[in-house]
Structure 1
Amino acid sequence: MPHKSYDQYCGIAAALDVVGDRWTLLVLRELSFGRRRFTDLRTGLPGIASNLLTDRLRDLEDAGLVEQQELPAPAARTVYALTADGRRIGPVLAALAKFGLPMLDDPVDGGVRPRTAVHGVLAPLLDGVAAAGRDLLVRFELDGEELWLQVRGGRLERADRTARPDLVLTGSAAALVELCRGTADLATLSPRITVRGSRAAQKTFRELFPVAQAVPTA
């Protein structure tokens, strides 16, 4: 746990006592994408010192938000994962991602991690009302990396990679961010990003992940 406290009877203050230290929310962001090795976290958090990452993980374990797990053979390695309590941070991270989206500089091809584009930019835009009771499976092939996103019954869930996707988005992670920011549409972004799938699936995608012109266009 952090050594300092705001010492206020307030939910926000109590939360910041646990997750308010520098890098802590970004560690939780990385773990919200799935289980990670220590080296994976270092890669996803360029600039953090190894000893500081160790401290942050220890604090989060002490707070009951993160746990270590041992993967079975042949992997046989230690990974970090969010606990059930830690997963409650999901809506907070999504709200922060939407809040910060207009503050980002214009994305540059090769400068955006595909994982960030899919899980840190697109996924937080899911409209829970429009998605209620609906399903959609999307495979992304961005900058040579394959990622999946699945909406089942209106909620984001771990994707079934053995199933046939409703849509396949191929191209640049930066282009996907531009689409999410509302600064360009698919017609403008082609061929930097292309979509394969039925018109019905494309319509569902637009309804479930609406672009709200987060960044004014020129």
Structure 2
Amino acid sequence: MTTTYGQFCPVAMASEVLTERWTPLVVRELLCGSTRFNDLRRGVPLMSPALLSKRLKTLERVGVVDHVGSEYHLTEAGRELWPVIESMGIWGQRWARGDVIAKHFDASLLMWDIHRNVDTAALPDRRVVVHFHLRGSSDGKSHFWLVLEPSAVDLCLTDPGHDVDVEVAGHVETMIDYWMGRRDLLGAVKAGDLAIAGPRLLVRELPTWFTRSPFAPVPLPVGA
């Protein structure tokens, strides 16, 4: 099977590097700040470790990634891919939204995204634990614990043993709609699609702790 388009066109040459399956998502994860192999895996949970390793080696070979010790860092060439990935995301948010079906409702990926977009400056000055019970995930996982502290944010897939301050329960689709800017969190609660339980002050403040997807503000096409 050919691995080249056989063209000098820069679009063709860039495509040889960037359009292999999973590669844009690996670059996305690197641009989002993941540097360790296991963190990269959590951002692309359906990708096998062997294939991730292969794609990283390719990106290293073509000068997009530096592998230093146990970490992967984008080179200048890799960092320059940000507007490319951003443009793909903007296009997908605006035009490909209708293709989000049940097989795309991955709660683990959603919670991974949410955990790395916590606004630590808005958190209380003590540890707060939020337990999410999200039904309907395509990966079969439903329980997640966010351990929130001003100095660190951890996502746990098993009970970390701390007292839970806030409980959030609902269908993963509701939380994805919130994350992608299609729904308001408290609006989902009022509609009965999401339940949030805990001390009144924490429940009221909870929406301020999380930013949303960077693509959430992208406007829809007229008439959509």
Distance in 1 of aligned mates of 2:6 and 2:73: 29
Q: 2:86 aligns with which of 69, 84, 94?
A: 94
Under a length normalisation based on structure 1, what TM-score does the superposition of the two structures give? 0.56
SS of 1:34's equivalent in the other structure is: coil
Q: Which residue in 2 is equivalent to 1:115?
A: 112
CA shift at 1:47, angstroms? 3.6
Distance in 1 of aligned mates of 2:66 and 2:106: 35
Residue 55 (str. 1) matches residue 54 (str. 2): yes
1:134-159 per-position Cα deviation (integer Å, ceiling 9, x unaligned): xxx667x7753368xxxxxxxxxxxx
Can you give the 5+ residue segments of structure 1 that lack an aligned partner in the other structure? 71-77, 123-136, 148-160, 163-169
CA shift at 1:187, angstroms? 3.7
- Bigger radius of gyration among the two: 2
Cα 1:177/1:55, change in 2 over 3 Å: same
Residue 196 (str. 1) matches residue 205 (str. 2): yes
1:103-151 per-position Cα deviation (integer Å, ceiling 9, x unaligned): 32267584542233577xx9xxxxxxxxxxxxxx667x7753368xxxx
Q: Which amino acid aligns with 2:90?
A: K
Cα 1:175/1:87, change in 2 over 3 Å: farther
Q: 1:212 aligns with which of 201, 219, 222?
A: 219
Cα 1:115/1:42, change in 2 over 3 Å: closer
1:37-73 per-position Cα deviation (integer Å, ceiling 9, x unaligned): 2233334333433332222111101111111123xxx
Can you give the 5+ residue segments of structure 2 that lack an aligned partner in the other structure? 124-129, 133-143, 152-166, 197-202
CA shift at 1:189, angstroms? 1.9
Q: For the Cα contact (< 8 Å) 1:68–1:81, is it kept in 2?
A: yes
Q: For the Cα contact (< 8 Å) 1:30–1:41, is it kept in 2?
A: yes
Under a length normalisation based on structure 2, what TM-score does the superposition of the two structures give? 0.55
Q: Which residue in 2 is equivalent to 1:67?
A: 66
Cα 1:61/1:117, change in 2 over 3 Å: same
Q: For the Cα contact (< 8 Å) 1:67–1:80, is it kept in 2?
A: yes
Matches within 5 A, 1:36-51: 36-51=35-50
1:7-63 per-position Cα deviation (integer Å, ceiling 9, x unaligned): 334332221111121121121122122243223333433343333222211110111
CA shift at 1:195, angstroms? 6.3
Cα 1:146/1:109, change in 2 over 3 Å: farther
Matches within 5 A, 1:166-185: 175-179=174-178, 181-185=180-184
